[in-house]
Amino acid sequence: MKVYNTLSKSKEEFAPLEEGKVKMYVCGPTVYNLIHIGNARPMIVFDTVRRYLEYRGYQVDYVSNFTDVDDKIIAKAIEEGVSAEEISQRYMKECQKDMEDMNVKPATIHPLATQEIDGMIEMIQTLVDKGFAYPASDGTVYFRVKRFSEYGKLSHKNLEDLQSGFRSLQVSGEGQKEDPLDFVLWKPKKEGEPFWPSPWCDGRPGWHIECSVMAKKYLGEEIDIHAGGEDLIFPHHENEIAQSECCNGKPFARYWMHNAFLNIDNKKMSKSLGNFFTVREVGEEYDLQVLRFFMLNAHYRSPLNFSRDLMTAAKNGLERIQTAAEHLRQIQKSGRDGELTQDEEKLLEQAEEFTRKFQEAMEDDFNTADAIAAIFELVKFSNTQAKENSTRLFAERLYDVLQTLTEILGFSLEVKEEILDQEIEDLIAQRQAARKEKNFQKADQIRDTLLEKGILLEDTREGVKWKRV
């Protein structure tokens, strides 16, 4: 199995530290709002990597954190007049709901940054003791970048270029740094912000130290795979390497995997352009299985363009697979009893080719686009070879192959149950009655039930309108 390693800028043969086990760390979201579809790409991509490794028989320890203390969380808390903890807890739950709807498996553990502060202080102290970090007069602790001779090895940047890039920048507090490249490990508290006591000052950790500490605690000093979006390569992952390797005295991660950016209608996603979509908003128009299918239709290292046309194409593609599965389920019910015929045994031998092609694609740096192409070949084969007079066993065997391959990619073969127009109207009437009685919990439950069945409600002056999505 070949994996593209950002560190070497090449595909390498995958060989874990411990035979049969994979230690994998994926940087999770900062929970200050609903996650957007850019956040969704690494979640879906690396969940699929994990699924394939498990299919290959590896025991995968999969750690993905939640950053629950951050400037954005604090700003949101101040804006709403609530605590930072309330914001982070709220959006962590919303994130977990979206992940479930995208069929992203829960991590082995989802550590929270705020619960690992003691470990961060301990690592920072070790770095200070070893001379790789230093406290400034106000209690800020900085990492000495130039003490780590390999700094820049992940992003392939050299220190001279970085240094010249910093010359024109006037960063607050830079006067107390020994060098403009040095980055923050611990910073003093500000009025109204959450803080923790430390040997240097009451304050909170810098962002980069969090992942170094959580990866070490839950996976060990050396891990197999560290992954995330390509926007994290520099400075976040570069700084993680510096901290971890200087503290622990050994390589941090063997393989660094990064997914490429997601664009919207060929433009970078941004709120100012009005092309910013949350996963929840996409879920109002499409089953989030469609979003997952769309994401995996491109290789994870290729830039991906999101548009409604492409989502519609993905929806049609997924339905084609689900329709083929339904065809096989029907033959399992109505087909002939008895053992496989000789012709059917030969056909099943031919069908093994699709599994081989699927595996070949996934073994080549998790090429999900080619893996999906192999599934479509299997779908075409099933539609033409599984007939009304086929044995039930033949349909069952083909279905098992299709289900195994789609489960690795995290798709469901079940089509959402269609709801009749009259049933929709009846539920809307029940919802309206609940709202009049001020039973908003029941009203919301009915709305959610309809949404799960693919029915989107819109409250207008003329009454409640609905449409199938």
Neighbour tally for 288: CB within 10 Å: 20
Residue 47 CA to residue 41 CA, distance in Å, equals 10
Residue 232 CA to residue 65 CA, distance in Å, equals 14
Average pLDDT over residues 380-397: 97
Average pLDDT over residues 169-178: 66
Domains of the chain: which residue ranges? 2-259, 279-409, 421-468
Pairing of strands 203-205, 223-229: unpaired
CATH number for the domain formed by residue range(s) 279-409 = 1.10.730.10
Structure tokens at 115: 């619960």
pLDDT band at 460 (very low <50, low <70, confident <90, very high): confident
Write down the pLDDT at residue 170. 43
Residue 316 CA to residue 192 CA, distance in Å, equals 51
Helix (H) or strand (E) holding 317, with range, is helix 308-334
Asked whether the predicted pLDDT for residue 172 surpasses 70, the reply is no
CATH number for the domain formed by residue range(s) 2-259 = 3.40.50.620
335 by Cβ neighbours in 10 Å (0-12 / 13-18 / 19+) ranks as buried
Neighbour tally for 20: CB within 10 Å: 9
The highest-confidence range among 8-22, 170-184, 433-447, by mean pLDDT, is 8-22
Q: Whose CA is closest to 356, among 341, 343, 375, 340?
A: 375
DSSP 204: E
Write down the pLDDT at residue 465. 84
Asked whether the predicted pLDDT for residue 369 surpasses 60, the reply is yes
> Which phi and psi (to 5°) does residue 288 adopt?
-70, -10
Write down the pLDDT at residue 168. 45
Residue 259 CA to residue 229 CA, distance in Å, equals 5
Q: Whose CA is closest to 376, among 454, 308, 314?
A: 314
pLDDT tens for 340-358 read 999 999 999 999 999 999 9
Asked whether the predicted pLDDT for residue 171 surpasses 60, the reply is no
User: Whole-number mean pLDDT of the chain?
Assistant: 93
Q: Whose CA is closest to 254, among 219, 288, 278?
A: 219
pLDDT tens for 416-452 read 655 667 778 888 989 989 888 989 889 889 988 888 8
Asked whether the predicted pLDDT for residue 200 surpasses 70, the reply is yes
Structure tokens at 124: 């920072």
pLDDT band at 106 (very low <50, low <70, confident <90, very high): very high
Beta bridge partners of 59: 21
pLDDT tens for 236-250 read 999 999 999 999 999
Asked whether the predicted pLDDT for residue 169 surpasses 50, the reply is no
Residue 306 CA to residue 311 CA, distance in Å, equals 7
Helix (H) or strand (E) holding 21, with range, is strand 21-26
> Which phi and psi (to 5°) does residue 144 adopt?
-80, 95
Instruction: Specify the range with the lowest mean pLDDT, choosing from 151-160, 402-411, 415-424.
Output: 415-424
pLDDT tens for 63-94 read 999 999 999 999 999 999 999 999 999 999 99
pTM more than 0.85: yes
Question: Which residue in the block uniquely carries the two structure tokens 């056909």?
Answer: 347
